[in-house]
Amino acid sequence: MSDLANPDALATLVGKATTPRPAAGYWTAVGRRLKRDPVTIIVTLLLLAIVLMAICAPWVTSYDPYAGSVMRRLRPIGTPGHWLGTDETGRDLWTRLAYGGRLSLLAGVAPVMVSLLVGGLLGITAGFMGGLTGTLIMRTMDVFYAFPSILLAIAICGLLGNGLTNSIIALAVVFIPPMVRIAETVTTQARHLDFVEAARASGTTTMQIIRHHVLANVLGPILVYATSLISLSIILSAGLSFLGLGVTPPQAEWGLMLNSLRQSIYVQPYVAALPGVMIFVTSMCFNLMSDGFRSAMDVRLSK
């Protein structure tokens, strides 16, 4: 699991967390940098198109995602009426990809959101409180680092059983430790800032210091790291479905579709590769968007 936490890639964000800036001016500068970054704008628009495709699946296709026909199985790309071809049971592949985006995006985003809430809370608590509380939290998280992320997810799914809910739980457990480590790192640095010490000396309560001073400086790095985890979550959730530990048939999900089409790769290789292309494009878009946000939030860059 050490591969999930990348201190080098987040060094600039951690540095930013230790430098207090006026909120309005800082976020205005971030917005200006994002507007001058065409790659981030393009991948964000592409991600928005993928999300809209999944949400509006009933309106962008007229086919039933579960109804097939032996007479039209494995039609090639460009077939009239099936412009992306059909799968091994004759189901329209464009329809399956559109509906599959719903479960794939949900399985990618939900574990990260859970880990953000739980891991962020634990990490901020450990970093701000320190002492025995921080030691107990961090040493508990270190136990999970003894297991590679994918093997831990497979073990949890094998214990709980297959299904979307269980795969979300498994991936959330996998992502909580690195989220705790990132949150604890930036919070530990933020709590020693001069204005935090001044607030503590003036008699401000702990909750007020966390809410008004600490969170403003640590949420940025934590959110950017969470964004970078979404791409990994999409790949891992697709891998669990490919292994039969995630979404179950006949539901439409990109990893499960890749598994069911693997037997057809010698007959219709382009059709069989389409779910993998969707997984790759979506995960790369999240990665590039995360990189763009990290660069935009680096206060050391010139305006």
pLDDT of residue 7: 47
d(CA 102, CA 97): 9
The DSSP bridge partners found for residue 92 are 86
- The 3-class SS string of 238-256 reads HHHHHCCCCCCCCCCCHHH
Q: What is the CATH number of domain 2-61+84-296?
A: 1.10.3720.10
- Per-residue confidence of the chain (303 residues) as pLDDT tens digits? 445 645 455 444 555 444 444 455 666 877 888 888 899 999 999 999 999 999 999 999 889 999 888 888 889 998 898 999 999 889 999 999 999 999 999 999 999 999 999 999 999 889 888 888 889 999 999 888 888 888 899 999 989 988 899 999 999 999 999 999 999 988 888 777 777 777 667 767 767 777 776 777 788 888 889 988 999 999 999 999 998 888 888 889 999 999 999 888 888 888 889 999 999 999 999 999 988 888 887 655 544
Q: Convert 158-167 to b/e letters by CB count within 10 Å (16 or more is b).
A: eeeebebebb
Residue 243 structure tokens: 């292994």
Per-residue tokens: 206: 């702990």
Q: Determine the residue type at 61.
A: T
What three-state secondary structure class fits 223? Answer: helix
